[in-house]
Amino acid sequence: MGRTMRADMYENVSVRKRASGEYEETVYDRRVQATGKRGVAVRREPLYQECRGSGKRNVAQMESGKVSGGSRAVWKEPMYEADRRNREAGAYRTTGQEKTKRGRKKFGRRKRKSAARKVLTGLLFYFLFAGMIATCIAVVSVFSEWKEKRQSQDAAKTDGIMADGTEAWTEEETGSRALMEITPEIRHECQELYEEQEELLLIVNKDHELETSYQPMLRNICKGRLKAADILYEDLCAMLEDGGQAGYEYWIASAHRDRAYQQGLVDEDVEKYMAKGYTYEAALQKTYEYTMPAGQSEHETGLALDILCSTNMMMDESQAYEPGNQWLAAHCHEYGFILRYPADKEDVTGIKYEPWHFRYVGKEAAAYLRNKGWTLEEFYRVIHDSIR
Measured CA to CA, the distance from residue 37 to residue 364 in angstroms comes to 121
Q: Which of 296, 307, 339 is nearest to 228 (CA)?
A: 307
Ramachandran region, residue 13 (left: φ > 0; alpha: ψ -120 to 50; beta: rest): alpha
Among residues 167, 298, 300, 354, which one is catalytic?
354
Question: Any catalytic annotation for residue 354?
Answer: yes
The phi-psi region of residue 331 (left if phi > 0; otherwise alpha if psi is between -120 and 50; otherwise beta) is alpha
N-term to C-term CA, the chain? 132
- Catalogue the active-site residues: 354
